[in-house]
């Protein structure tokens, strides 16, 4: 990934609080963002965008061309979560996922879906012996079974046939795999695991294997191995510490990162970056968790994932020291307070205190 | 599933020991099979079939039409595992999986891939608080992304496109879902969870949802819920005891059952049935684990999965009491010996002692 030459003096950030707990966790993320950028003398210009269920109910709009154009004028997007209240049938199922989240990923060419997993001191894994977990999933973001290809013949009948088509291109896999190798080469353990199911999905599997082999030749310092996706879930519960960088397709990455979030203490802690590594459009940073309408508005949500997403955003924008400061502050706060019951704002206070 | 009217007096079983640890674990399964059927006065006629890597190296054959015809003449197939030694490049990657395992599933119409998961006393889960795990995954076996559809355009070039097509039919999903509801209705908790990803894979997802709703109307006593596959992996590590019957597609089922095997103490304990519930061809029963060539021939493999697969086979063949006897004997043996180091045959001895 070509990083900005110099640290920026000025950032334009699009903020999308969204629905449910989104606004609460984004509020804490913004406080942290403001604190570290102010300390670094970086001016941050923010603009808020309404997207999600509430926005849809109010306007009938998902993500319009115009909003996309306006988003493009920013350096990055800080995103909360979108989703209707459970049982609210006014928003058709799948609409927000496809017409907001996936539309944004595809339109802004977020081809790397970057999802780090760490088990921080003070957090509790459901695993009895989790070990020292610190890996990153590099998930494809613009291809695979997510392209909306496929269809249905004779819908609603006894002779119905429904297809889903996974599209995989050398263009798409190559840039993903290159990103993953570059990341692995910068990390301490320099290990890359390709996860696929090439014994069954032979065509896509062969493409991934070929490009990992080809690009891997440029990175002799990175050790490469391969796991079928089913076996990968076993290792994620029996020995997650074995992983360093995992590179995988869009759907497998979706599944593995939720599992990874679970074994590292909950997706309340897991951030994600939807990255356009060519920087032809702004990248988007978000917590992996959803809008959790059941606990919304009650200061019960954990803002750590949103705060860590902010750190990823700053790293991407050429402010790695500020990103590291946030990471360190989160770690310190978690080590001090562990899983003790605190309000969303109290966790934000804790991280700000650790920053100071 | 229409069960045989009366307990059979005579069974014809095709035995496929296969490669690696297959022959060792199947040997113990056969001892258990012989003991319970002898006690019940059921005569068992067995015929051994060579399939797998060794067979391929010796004959150049995978699974021929003739072998398939011969298998059809049996009541069921007891299967070990197939797979080449690691690094043995003489068997092309994927050949055994596709041309033996998947060919058998498709040719014999094994549309239900039945995978029970229980945490037995005496076994150790990697989870800190696994709870009381006892669920069954009803995985589709003959459709989805496993049909070998898809292809590649411009292979090996920078313009390569590889596709994988998931095929889903009302015919295939309906019979699967019906099987799952019938099973759920017979179980104590009467819960069925559909796992899919209908917010992204809309066409296939809608078909599954429609048929679960439709067939569910015939089973008002069964409580139905839905989880996206990514969320399902979270619950499998944080609260696996919540599940009763899971019904899902071929690929999701592949992933979830390996994870389920892991959280219940390892796939060394997990059996599977590849079931033709219409009984137009013999069903096949196997341990979920593979051929584990690294430990083969050293009496290190755990035969419990193969023994439990034998119990599933007897249940399917109309001998539920004999199946229950095996299950109880395995449980007693595990409770007594836990995870203590024993040879493959010693575990077989233990189960036989518990049977006596
Ligand atoms: C909401 C859904 C479309 C999305 C995905 O499947 O990618 C989510 O699960 C995620 O992981 O970001
Ligand atoms: C070996 C492979 C083809 C098979 C599958 O994917 O179904 C295996 O993983 C299984 O679960 O039985």
Q: 3-state DSSP call for residue B135? A: strand
* Whole-number pLDDT of residue B3: 64
Neighbours of B244 (CB within 10 A): 19
Neighbours of A64 (CB within 10 A): 13
- Cα A25 to Cα B151: distance, rounded to the nearest angstrom: 44
* Superfamily in which the A7-110+301-356 domain is placed by CATH: Isopropylmalate Dehydrogenase (3.40.718.10)
- Cα A81 to Cα A20: distance, rounded to the nearest angstrom: 7
- Cα B349 to Cα B42: distance, rounded to the nearest angstrom: 21
Residue pLDDT, tens place only, B132-147 = 999 999 999 999 999 9
- Give A-chain residues touching B305 at CB under 8 angstroms: none
For ligand 2, say whether the CB of B101 is within 6 Å of any of its atoms.
yes
DSSP letters for A276-320: -TT-SS-EEEEESS---GGGTTTT-S--HHHHHHHHHHHHHTT-H
**Tokens read off for B33:** 């099979």
- Nearest Cα neighbor of A75 from A276, A271, A270 is A276
Residue pLDDT, tens place only, B64-82 = 999 999 999 999 999 999 9
% pLDDT > 90, chain B: 94
- Cα B113 to Cα B255: distance, rounded to the nearest angstrom: 13
- What does the domain layout of chain B look like in residue ranges? 7-111+283-356, 125-134+142-153+160-264
Nearest by CB to A267, from B93, B234, B254: name it. Answer: B234
Q: Into which CATH architecture does domain B7-111+283-356 fall?
A: 3-Layer(aba) Sandwich (3.40)
User: Average pLDDT, whole number, for chain B?
Assistant: 96
* Whole-number pLDDT of residue A76: 98
Of A19, A75, A134, A254, catalytic? A254
Q: How far is the CA of B228 from the centre of ligand 1 (A)?
A: 10
For ligand 1, say whether the CB of A254 is within 6 Å of any of its atoms.
yes
* Cβ-based neighbours of A66, under 8 Å, separated by 6 or more: none
Q: For testing the chain B interface, which of A237, A256, A267, A270 should be mutated: the one with the most B CBs within 10 Å?
A: A237
Q: Which atom of ligand 1 is nearest to the CA of A97?
A: 3
* Whole-number pLDDT of residue B86: 82
Q: Which residues pair with A138 in a beta bridge?
A: A114, A247
Residue A26 has pLDDT above 90, yes or no: yes
* Whole-number pLDDT of residue A3: 64
Verify whether residue B146 is a known catalytic residue: yes
Of A109, A111, A179, A197, catalytic? A197
The separation between the first and the last C-alpha atoms of chain B, rounded to the nearest angstrom, is 31
The DSSP output letter for B97 is: I
Task: Evaluate whether A304 touches A312 at the Cβ level (below 8 Å).
Answer: no
Task: Evaluate whether A262 touches B234 at the Cβ level (below 8 Å).
Answer: yes
Looking only at the bridges linking them, the beta strands covering B271-275 and B112-118 are antiparallel
> Which of the ligands is closest to the CA of residue A290?
1
* Whole-number pLDDT of residue A284: 98
Of A198-207, A242-251, B243-252, B335-344, the range with the lowest mean pLDDT is: B335-344
Residue located via tokens 């099979």: B33
Q: How far is the CA of A262 from the centre of ligand 1 (A)?
A: 15
- Region for B36 from its dihedrals, namely left if φ exceeds 0, alpha if ψ lies in -120 to 50, beta otherwise: alpha
* Whole-number pLDDT of residue B252: 98
Nearest by CB to B162, from A200, A204, A263: name it. Answer: A204
- Nearest Cα neighbor of A176 from A100, A246, A265 is A246
* Whole-number pLDDT of residue A29: 98
pLDDT class of B2 with cuts at 50, 70, 90: low
pTM score of the predicted model: 0.97
Q: How far is the CA of A117 from the centre of ligand 1 (A)?
A: 17
pLDDT class of A1 with cuts at 50, 70, 90: low
Neighbours of A67 (CB within 10 A): 19
pLDDT class of B87 with cuts at 50, 70, 90: confident
* Whole-number pLDDT of residue A87: 83
pLDDT class of B164 with cuts at 50, 70, 90: very high
pLDDT class of A2 with cuts at 50, 70, 90: low
Question: CA A18 → CA A22, A285, B317, distances in Å?
Answer: 5, 13, 55
Residue B1 has pLDDT above 90, yes or no: no
Residue pLDDT, tens place only, A280-320 = 999 999 999 999 999 999 999 999 999 999 999 999 999 99
Residue range B125-134+142-153+160-264, CATH number? 3.40.718.10
Fold equal for B7-111+283-356 and B125-134+142-153+160-264 = yes
Torsion from C-alpha of B170, B171, B172, B175, nearest 10 degrees: 110
- Give B-chain residues touching A238 at CB under 8 angstroms: 126, 262, 266
Residue located via tokens 């055994």: B96
Residue pLDDT, tens place only, B106-117 = 999 999 999 999
Please state the rounded mean pLDDT for residues B154-160: 97
Verify whether residue A230 is a known catalytic residue: yes
Residue nearest to atom 8 of ligand 2 (CA): B254
Residue B33 has pLDDT above 70, yes or no: yes
For ligand 1, say whether the CB of A259 is within 6 Å of any of its atoms.
no
Please state the rounded mean pLDDT for residues B55-71: 97
Q: Which of A196, A199, A234 to mutate to test the pocket of ligand 2 (most atoms within 8 A of CB)?
A: A199
- Nearest Cα neighbor of A56 from A23, A5, A92, A13 is A92
Residue range A125-148+165-264, CATH number? 3.40.718.10
Phi/psi of residue A293, nearest 5 degrees? -55, -25
Residue A107 has pLDDT above 90, yes or no: yes
């Amino acid at each position: 990934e070509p990083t900005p030459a110099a640290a920026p003096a000025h950032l334009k950030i699009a903020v999308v609080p969204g629905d449910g707990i989104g606004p609460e966790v984004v509020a804490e993320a913004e406080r942290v963002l403001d604190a570290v950028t102010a300390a670094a003398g970086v001016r941050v210009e923010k603009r808020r965008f309404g997207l999600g269920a509430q926005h849809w109910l109010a306007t009938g709009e998902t993500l319009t061309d115009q909003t996309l154009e306006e988003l493009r004028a920013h350096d990055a997007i800080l995103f909360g979560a979108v989703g209707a209240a459970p049982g609210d049938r006014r928003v058709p199922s799948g609409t927000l996922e496809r017409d907001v989240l996936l539309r944004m990923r595809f339109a802004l060419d977020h081809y790397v879906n970057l999802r780090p997993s760490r088990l921080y001191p003070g957090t509790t894994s459901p695993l009895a012996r989790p070990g020292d977990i610190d890996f990153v999933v590099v998930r494809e973001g613009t291809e695979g079974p997510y392209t909306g290809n496929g269809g249905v013949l004779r819908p609603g009948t006894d002779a119905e046939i429904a297809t889903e088509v996974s599209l995989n291109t050398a263009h798409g896999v190559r840039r993903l795999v290159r990103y993953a190798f570059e990341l692995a080469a910068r990390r301490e353990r320099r290990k890359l695991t390709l996860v696929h199911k090439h014994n069954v999905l032979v065509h896509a599997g062969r493409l991934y294997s070929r490009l990992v082999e080809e690009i891997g030749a440029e990175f002799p310092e990175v050790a490469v191995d391969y796991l079928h996706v089913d076996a990968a879930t076993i290792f994620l519960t029996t020995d997650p510490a074995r992983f360093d960088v995992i590179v995988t397709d869009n759907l497998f990455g979706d599944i593995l990162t939720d599992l990874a979030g679970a074994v590292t203490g909950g997706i309340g802690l897991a951030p994600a970056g939807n990255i356009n590594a060519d920087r032809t459009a702004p990248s988007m940073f978000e917590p992996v968790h959803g809008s959790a309408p059941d606990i919304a508005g009650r200061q019960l949500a954990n803002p750590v994932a949103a705060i860590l997403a902010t750190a990823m955003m700053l790293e991407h924008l050429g402010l790695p020291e500020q990103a590291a400061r946030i990471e360190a502050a989160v770690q310190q706060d978690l080590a001090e307070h562990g899983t003790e019951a605190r309000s969303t704002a109290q966790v934000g206070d804790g991280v700000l205190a650790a920053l100071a």
